[in-house]
Every structure is written in structure tokens, then in C-alpha cells.
Amino acid sequence: MTASAAGGHDQGAREAGYEPDPNRWRALWVTLVAGFMSLLDVSIVAVALPTIQRQLHASAAEVQWVVSGYALSFGLALVTAGRLGDALDRRRIFLLALSGFVLFSAACGAAPNIALLVAARLAQGLAAGFMAPQNSALIQQMFRGGERGRAFGFFGATVGISSAVGPLTGGLILALADGAQGWRWIFYVNVPIGILAILLGRRLLPRTRRSGREHVDLPGVVLLGLGVLALMYPLVQAESGGLTRLWWMFPAGAALLFVFTRWQRRLLDRGTQPLLDPRLFTTVRGYAVGAGVGTLYFIGFSGVWLVFALFYQHGLGYSPLESGLAVTPFALGSAVAAAVSGRLVDRLGRLLTVGGLTGVILGLGGTALLLRFAPLDLAPWLAAPVLFLGGVGGGCVISPNITMTLREVPVHMAGAAGGALQTGQRLGAAVGTAALPGLYYLVLGSRSDDYRGALFLAMVAGLVGMAASLALAAYDWRRDRRTREPHRPCPDDVAHSPVHSRQT
């Protein structure tokens, strides 16, 4: 443990009665490794889809479910899983979900046909969705004050980097695992890492004292699940005509979410604990804006990497590994900045997000211009340093935004709040990964060899989503400047401070 980690936790939190868990930093790394695996699996499989399709004799629509099915079940589970962690025991939910993730990863690798592979991916995504909100909730539980900001900085770096390095990691595994069955190691690699994380988690993760809020809102679970399903399903089916064939699911999903919101308010008025407390969005400072900033950012951010993979592999003839290496500068810049931004968020606040979003837009916008207009043999090399600068900006977006969104959430609502935040991000990612490749193929449909024009149009669309996120962040920063008050620890953190214990 570093000196700053051992001695840097907030003095005010100590005086308020918070007793830090001595294993908190080691426990954090266990959850981050598990979270990295689950988020990496959203994109790592994309580079192996052509191989999987050939080996399992699958249609294009069937093999697409290997990616979209995982994303769909992942997004459906988040809020319910977070609420169960709040009501029961985050440690128990996390370890059970991680065990399921390892088991279904092995099942994916061993799948003899496309039907069993898709079924295993759906189950793997569900396990990942149950695991993900426990990560942010355990940070809320284990850390206070300045330490919480640093812990969320590492968590945000995990979220951002996992999205950017998925294609590289998949390409590297395919290159090392030679042979027609090499794609199976994309799934098998999770097994030894996951088993080690389970063993360490059993020893290091703190238990959650039950708060008396064990009621789980089953009608709310059904309403929210159907609403999210109705919004996500047409998006994950976009490549097979889902947007035109299933357009009616969007208004149906919006109606279900409206009914869900009214039901949550009704439960609150009756004094019953809802699945997702509406007061998160109305009274917890920074939560509503932070959720909006994250959702809009992921609309532009997530689809960009699929478009890059398509351009480099189909347009320039790169291998999966070479395609992943081409976008690695962004991941490196993001890793460097995320480690630092967690320490700056208390001092700079929303200004840090505004600066980061500006950097991402300039970096990715500059990359789009270079790949569109620079000489083709030099363009990828010229784009590398610009991508690195964009990554530095990206490292100042996700980590600080997660910190500012969740830092004042009461501990007893941390799981549901983290689940709702990530649900918004998953919805944004679903929109982006459907819309941006769709625009890319739209250009190629009319001009089959205009790969550079297709990339440019898709990148511009992604930048629009990021610009909307920047506008919202800038609005919040200006509002915060007018009404600024010193940050105070949330009183509910003290009132509901969990008792940390360790299994020996």
C-alpha cells in the first residue's frame, strides 16, 4: 500500500466516526480486475466474429448476437443487481456473479455450435450485469473523502480503458492463439483470472451490514426490465433491420419507464423502499447531470472503436492485431490522465470534465480529419499522437464524472445508483454502436470504396454526441460557479456507515 493510500483519507470522515477497512485498497484492485474483464468482454469479441462465423457455420445475424446478446443482458441486470446488493450483501452478490461469469466464460469457449455460444453469452452478460454495480457501491462503502475520489479515479480509468483496448486485446489473443480454434481463448482467458479474483475477494472484500431495507420492489423490477429491453432490443438488432422493423418498441419502452417512475414515487409516498429512489435525481447534488453527461458521452465514444476497426481492417487491410495497435495511443493517454484526474476532481470539479470533453473532441476530430484528407500511407502514423491527446482528454471525463455523480449518494443507495448510472451508459453505448457503424455502411452502400468518407461521416456523428455531453457539462459548471458551496460529506454516509468485517 502506498503512503498516500495509507494516510491520505479525509480527516473529516475520520472525525465523523468512519473507520477505514485496512484491506480497502487491495479489495479495490480485486473488484477493478473483475470489472475490467466484464467490460472488456463487451468489445473484445468483435474482432473474432468473422472467425467464429466460419468455424461454427453461423449466419451474420446469428453471430451478431454473440456481441449484442451480451450487451443486452448486461444492461438489463444493472439496476436490479445494484438494489439487491444494497438490500442484502454486496460482497455475496459480487462473488456469486463473478463465479457465474467465470463459469459462463468457460461455457462460451467450449460451445460446439452458435446456439450454445449465444446462450452462454446471454448468461455471461447477465452475470456481468449483476457484478458491475457492486464495484461502485463497494467504493462508496469502503472509502470516504479524498480517498473516495482517488478510488473512483481508478474505477473510471477501468471503464474508459476497457472500452478502448478491447480490439487490441482481442487481436493479440487471436495472434497468440494460433489455429482455427484460437477464438476460444478470448473466453478462456477469463477463467484463471476470475478464479484468482474469487479467492482474493473471499478474503478481502468487506461484508455489508443489513440496513433493514431488504424489501425488493418486484413490480418495479418487471417494469424497468421491460422498459430497458424495449429501448435496447431494436438497437442491438440494428444490423438486421431492427430500427425499422421494431421502431414501435421505442415509444413502448418510454411508456413503460414513465409508468415505472410513477410507481417508484407511489412507493416512496407509502414509505416503502423503491427499486430506484427518485430522490437520487432530484435531491442528490450532481447525480442527474452526471448521469446525463455519461449517457451522451457513451453515445459518441462507444461506437467510434467499432468504426475504427472496420476502417483499418476492411479499408486498409490491417489484421485484427494491427487494427488494435492503431488505436492504442488513445488507451495510453486515457490511462495516464485517469490516474491523475482522480486526484484533481475535488479541486477542479466539473471544470475537469469540461476540459476533458474538449480534449476528446479535438483529438478524435483531428484524427478524423487526418484519416480523411492526409496521404493514406502517412495518415495512421500522423493520427497516433493526436489520438494520444484525445485519450488524455478521455481520461479526464469518465473518472471525474463518475466521482462527481456518485460521491454524495448515500451508501445505502449506492448499488442502485451505480446500476442506474451504468444503465444509462449501456443505453448510450447501444445507440452509438448501432448508429455509427450504420452510417459507415450507409456511405459504403452508395460508394463501395469510399472507406475514408464513411469513417469521416461516422466520426462526425460520434462527435455530435460528445458535443452534447460537453454542453451539459459546461452548463453544470457555470451553474456550480454561481451557487458554489464547499463540498461536505453526505450526512447519510455517516448515518448508514456499514460495519466492515473480513472473512478469515
Same structural domain, 56 and 161: yes
| pLDDT (0 to 100) of residue 486 | 46
| pLDDT (0 to 100) of residue 225 | 83
The last residue of one of the domains, among 239, 256, 274, is 274
Same structural domain, 186 and 303: yes
Determine, yes or no, domain membership for 247: yes
The last residue of one of the domains, among 256, 274, 292, is 274
Determine, yes or no, domain membership for 13: no
Distance CA 236, CA 430 (A): 7
| pLDDT (0 to 100) of residue 10 | 40
Name every residue whose Cβ is closer than 8 Å to that of residue 377 and which is 6 or more positions away in sequence.
none
Determine, yes or no, domain membership for 391: yes
Distance CA 327, CA 308 (A): 8
Same structural domain, 455 and 471: yes
Distance CA 215, CA 213 (A): 6
SS3 (DSSP) at 22 = coil
Determine, yes or no, domain membership for 489: no
Same structural domain, 188 and 238: no
| pLDDT (0 to 100) of residue 143 | 84
Same structural domain, 266 and 291: no
Same structural domain, 352 and 442: yes
Residue 235 domain boundaries: 218-274
Distance CA 338, CA 150 (A): 10
Same structural domain, 270 and 397: no
Determine, yes or no, domain membership for 63: yes
Same structural domain, 440 and 461: yes
Determine, yes or no, domain membership for 141: yes
| pLDDT (0 to 100) of residue 266 | 87
Query: H helices of 177-286, where?
Result: 185-188, 190-204, 218-236, 242-245, 249-269, 279-282
Determine, yes or no, domain membership for 338: yes
Contact criterion met (CB below 8 Å) for 204 and 30:
yes
Distance CA 236, CA 249 (A): 12
Residues in the chain: 504
Same structural domain, 182 and 256: no
Residue 451 has which C-alpha cell? Answer: 472507406
| pLDDT (0 to 100) of residue 195 | 95
Residue 436 has which C-alpha cell? Answer: 455509427
| pLDDT (0 to 100) of residue 214 | 61
Q: What is the CATH number of the domain that holds 355?
A: 1.20.1250.20
Same structural domain, 370 and 241: no
Same structural domain, 176 and 252: no
| pLDDT (0 to 100) of residue 499 | 38
Total domains in the chain come to 2
Contact criterion met (CB below 8 Å) for 48 and 169:
no
- Which segments of the chain have a pLDDT < 50? 1-16, 212, 486-504
Same structural domain, 361 and 415: yes
Nearest residue to 280 (alpha-carbon basis) of 108, 463, 408, 142: 408
Determine, yes or no, domain membership for 240: yes
